[in-house]
Amino acid sequence: MNTIANTLKTIIEGQNLNYFRSININDLNQQVGTRDVSAGLGVYSSLPEITNNTFALNSNVLMQYGVEVYYLKLNFHTDDNGEQIDSILDELKPLADGMIDQLNHSGIIATGQFIDDYQLDAVETLKFTKEVLTGWRLQFDVPIFRRTFDCV
């Protein structure tokens, strides 16, 4: 597991949620059906997209490592209404915001950098096996320095 995945796992479990790693949100079907998700879950669900910024004066490479995390909670209403969804969103939003706060102080961010922007989108109700999940999709870029170089 890479440094970013390890850090996300530590933060999500520290928020008393289950951590899942999935290539995309649709791949959760198998995992959700076999584990208890009643406490809620944080899902690191993207393959990385990395934008590399190079600096000619010092040969550093600053990577903007794209990340997508879902914060989801079990919705006990199969025919949910707006109020039921709002209560789940209200409960999970501080956790999603807290992810950014904790990442900015985690030590993996490049020196002198921080997560500039992040996007939160409420996700429509996701139905997996017999479970119905509602929550947030959190998207952001983590600025980290590349550590290995091919020196010739």
Sequence-separated contacts (24+) of 35-38 with Cβ below 8 Å = 37/72, 37/74, 37/131, 37/133, 38/74
The residue among 29 and 62 whose pLDDT is bigger is 62
pLDDT single digits (tens) 100-129: 999 998 888 887 888 989 999 998 766 665
Does residue 67 form part of some domain?
A: yes
Does residue 152 form part of some domain?
A: no
Distance (Å, whole) CA 88 – CA 77: 12
pTM: 0.85
Q: How high is the pLDDT of residue 150?
A: 53
pLDDT bucket at 27, cuts 50 / 70 / 90: confident
Does residue 81 form part of some domain?
A: yes
Q: Which domain covers residue 63, as residue numbers?
A: 3-145
Q: How high is the pLDDT of residue 151?
A: 56
Structural domains in the chain (count): 1
Does residue 150 form part of some domain?
A: no
pLDDT single digits (tens) 55-99: 766 677 888 989 999 999 888 766 666 677 888 999 999 999 999
Does residue 102 form part of some domain?
A: yes
Instruction: Give the number of other CB atoms < 10 A from CB of residue 106.
Output: 15
CATH number for position 82 = 3.30.70
Does residue 101 form part of some domain?
A: yes
Q: Which value, in Å, is the radius of gyration of the alpha carbons in the chain?
A: 17
- CB-neighbour burial class of residue 141 (10 A; exposed 0-12, middle 13-18, buried 19+): middle
Does residue 151 form part of some domain?
A: no
Does residue 83 form part of some domain?
A: yes
